Structure 1
């Protein structure tokens, strides 16, 4: 196997973007120490509380803030001769504009800085300088961390996304920043996600911020049944106005007040809207389409802000181009070494109620052609055993067999009472034999994880992929084009062609494994809004309620979980 190369000079854009360089923060020599600061400053740091702030409790940053001030003998960092420095004013401007990054300026005392500056301009006590300096340091560290790794740790939601590995050394970063002659705006801009998709989504958020200042158009009544081309809908002018407000219909289009016949150009506008919202884009006017059109712009704006938060959870560097699954979009994407998207396909994901697909990252390591399906203990207990109790030939009818813990086949026909007892207590398990009717189809793609989740083919894809939404599985991810993904993963093995992959699936050896030359990163993410680099903004249903949970956590303020 070739030696594993680490592409440490690159980051790969996740979810629809371009390759961008990761800019490392150079370490600069700290400025020389100033005279020792006041005991009041040290006391406030030890307490981890500053009542003057919007969020007074900074205990989660207390150690970092103490290390920052300790390096300069607790001298003030943002004030000289009783006056805020140029760096202080630059930083305050950045904090006050936090909303433009999808953050909340009030998390960083956005409205409090003018009064603090005015207080220092007049006769003031030394303690006022301590409060100003400490508040600005706390706000700065919070802002830098929030931009870099997000406000909420994804592990709070049991997501397997690790932000710990990319945390910045905040005391060093801020000291170096203040000792640099560079404008702080330029320095701070480097800490956010370096993905073109992130910036496109941020620009969309700014666009929807302006849209949200306009009143929403009138709510559209639901149609009676489905309105097809040539059908009738009594609210055509209102429909046109909404589509024009959202950018899906040319603003020059004029719909007469008494128009009721549904046809182009309105039908084309509806199809464009549907394509951006995860709906069948046939242009037919359905209840689902009207429901999506009626969602307030303010709610769409909130989705974009949540998407920016989730972008910050993603690692910024990868050993090789990743595979990305966006669960609410029901899509999988693959990228080449330049970061260009070269693979896209539909997926089915876990049922929203009982078998949600977990959100995590891992490494794809091998592919299994014509696999066995080893039934999970939960499915065996809750679904298979009751079916066997009802019909002792159920397993035989479905190409299944009973095996012991060593994989030895115990029964493949009618199930006896003794075998059923072992199935009930879990000492025996069930597997389905390889073949076209196997629940995993003809190939599965493995990235070892504690959830027992993997990518796989499905024998029912022709019907399953025609349904929307496609939250149908037991948690695994069903692939629309399994052969294409397997071939892409094996592309550096010159003896593997797409035809060979298809041959291995259809006629190859049962349960045959092929190890990848090197692991391929995979990210299973959950983003209900995103913008492409061409400006197209897309929204998807919050199928698992994760948006609701994230919004609630953010509403609580600091210290965030």
Structure 2
């Protein structure tokens, strides 16, 4: 495992300096089944949730404003228009937990804490079980102090809700996350309810759109009010954040050239060319009209397909050859663009009902030999958002995600000083 972690870290560092776009069971039963379950967990990625965001107006959330917004949103039946109501329902649940003093701190000594694994036992296991029951990850609290199969299932659901790697181990970071005061969780829910207020009307009632939630590193393609497609993504590094905005997707470019932004040429590429005179040729690059571009192919930093939607930030979505980066929980690697794990799947979903584009034609266009641009017959709304709390449309469970760009913290500071954002 240490070797794997080292390899992943090296891979990530290498990528950053390469060109790319902006009921209790018996303990014996647990041991018998654990190995086979662990082998399949890393393949799971069933985060069937929908996310969004936009620029928001920061104002205190009153009960009257919640009620008013709820009444408006009941008129719509699509995913975006119902999220406010779902968050409000979870907010009431968490406020009740706080009122009844059910959010008990899990007692640990960080200095001597050892990662918890199945078959471990102790008071801490009992406390974790109680917490997972209170928030709904467990349907019952057996009061057992043994980390059994029942608790394993609860831990998996907890990690799924928080966008964590799906395994049974509970680290100090996980315990600290559980020990986050419930008052902070309530603030996060309210903040994300406020973000719902700024959903553009054309999206709230649209039957087709694509949205990306930056903190969850997920993309969703919604059609006819249903989730047509989903994929993991990675987004901009903290020094090159992916912006939040709306636009209209109008083109799909297969086997694209990558025209390298001048900022990357000045800050990174020139140094590499100076150090290695064969750098451009070795990386399938060429000069073109005073600019540098990377030719189509499997090693192209944009992968084999990109999705274009005009915006002032020069951000777009695209494939990537660096698939190993999707093994990381925190995926902030790009210069701002959105890198899609299953870009081919997105292209197939968008063009599924287009008689001009069969799967075979899509495969041929993604062969990497020639750039092919297709203008969509119907433009698709795109919504790049920043939601740190979102309620699943499938089961009503809430997910919390890391505030990777510190937007929640900055927003709280603005609220405390009564500043209103545009």
Regarding TM over 0.5, the answer is: yes
Distance 1:191 1:236 in 2: 41
Please give the residue correspondences for 1:324-343 in structure 2 after superposition, counting only pairs within 5 Å.
Answer: 324-337=211-224, 339-343=225-229
Match of 1:172 in 2: none
**Which residue of 287, 293, 298 maps to 2:178?**
293
Match of 2:379 in 1: 519
Q: Which runs of 5+ in 1 are unaligned?
A: 1-14, 18-98, 109-142, 149-187, 405-427
Please give the secondary structure, in 2, of the residue aligned with 1:478: strand
Distance 1:442 1:250 in 2: 45
- Aligned residues of 1:373 and 1:440 also touching (Cα < 8 A): yes
Query: Is it true that 1:444 corresponds to 2:306 in the alignment?
Result: yes
**Which residue of 257, 271, 274 maps to 1:386?**
271
CA shift digits 1:395-445 (9 cap, x unpaired): 2221111222xxxxxxxxxxxxxxxxxxxxxxx322111100010000001
Please give the secondary structure, in 2, of the residue aligned with 1:333: strand
Please give the secondary structure, in 2, of the residue aligned with 1:190: helix
Distance 1:234 1:380 in 2: 57
Please give the residue correspondences for 1:374-413 in structure 2 after superposition, counting only pairs within 5 Å.
Answer: 374-404=259-289
**Which residue of 243, 253, 267 maps to 2:142?**
253
Distance 2:364 2:118 in 1: 44
Match of 1:413 in 2: none
Please give the secondary structure, in 2, of the residue aligned with 1:341: strand
Distance 2:155 2:210 in 1: 31
Please give the secondary structure, in 2, of the residue aligned with 1:491: coil
Q: 1:220 to 1:361 in 2, by over 3 A?
A: farther
Match of 1:218 in 2: 105
Match of 1:347 in 2: 233
Distance 1:220 1:482 in 2: 44
Query: Is it true that 1:478 corresponds to 2:349 in the alignment?
Result: no
Instruction: Tell me the matched-pair count.
Output: 357
- Aligned residues of 1:400 and 1:430 also touching (Cα < 8 A): yes
- Aligned residues of 1:363 and 1:522 also touching (Cα < 8 A): yes
Match of 2:329 in 1: 468
Query: Is it true that 1:546 corresponds to 2:385 in the alignment?
Result: no
Q: 1:559 to 1:264 in 2, by over 3 A?
A: closer
- Aligned residues of 1:147 and 1:192 also touching (Cα < 8 A): no
Match of 2:242 in 1: 357
Query: Is it true that 1:510 corresponds to 2:370 in the alignment?
Result: yes
Distance 2:200 2:75 in 1: 9
Instruction: Return the offset for 1:234.
Output: 6.4
Q: 1:193 to 1:227 in 2, by over 3 A?
A: farther
Please give the secondary structure, in 1, of the residue aligned with 2:268: helix
Instruction: Decide which structure has the larger Cα Rg and report it.
Output: 1
Please give the residue correspondences for 1:16-27 in structure 2 after superposition, counting only pairs within 5 Å.
Answer: 16=50
Match of 1:103 in 2: 61
Please give the secondary structure, in 2, of the residue aligned with 1:396: helix
Q: 1:332 to 1:559 in 2, by over 3 A?
A: closer
RMSD value, Cα:
2.6
Match of 1:87 in 2: none
- Aligned residues of 1:229 and 1:267 also touching (Cα < 8 A): yes
Match of 1:197 in 2: 83
Distance 2:306 2:148 in 1: 45
**Which residue of 217, 242, 246 maps to 2:131?**
242
Instruction: Return the offset for 1:349.
Output: 0.8
- Aligned residues of 2:233 and 2:340 also touching (Cα < 8 A): yes
Instruction: Return the offset for 1:386.
Output: 1.4
Query: Is it true that 1:537 corresponds to 2:398 in the alignment?
Result: yes
- Aligned residues of 2:50 and 2:390 also touching (Cα < 8 A): no
Match of 1:209 in 2: 95
Distance 2:170 2:401 in 1: 18
Match of 1:263 in 2: 148
Instruction: Return the offset for 1:500.
Output: 2.4
Distance 1:527 1:354 in 2: 19
- Aligned residues of 2:106 and 2:128 also touching (Cα < 8 A): no
Please give the secondary structure, in 1, of the residue aligned with 2:302: coil
CA shift digits 1:32-53 (9 cap, x unpaired): xxxxxxxxxxxxxxxxxxxxxx
Q: Which runs of 5+ in 2 are unaligned?
A: 1-48, 52-58
- Aligned residues of 1:193 and 1:312 also touching (Cα < 8 A): no
Query: Is it true that 1:306 corresponds to 2:306 in the alignment?
Result: no
Q: 1:242 to 1:559 in 2, by over 3 A?
A: closer
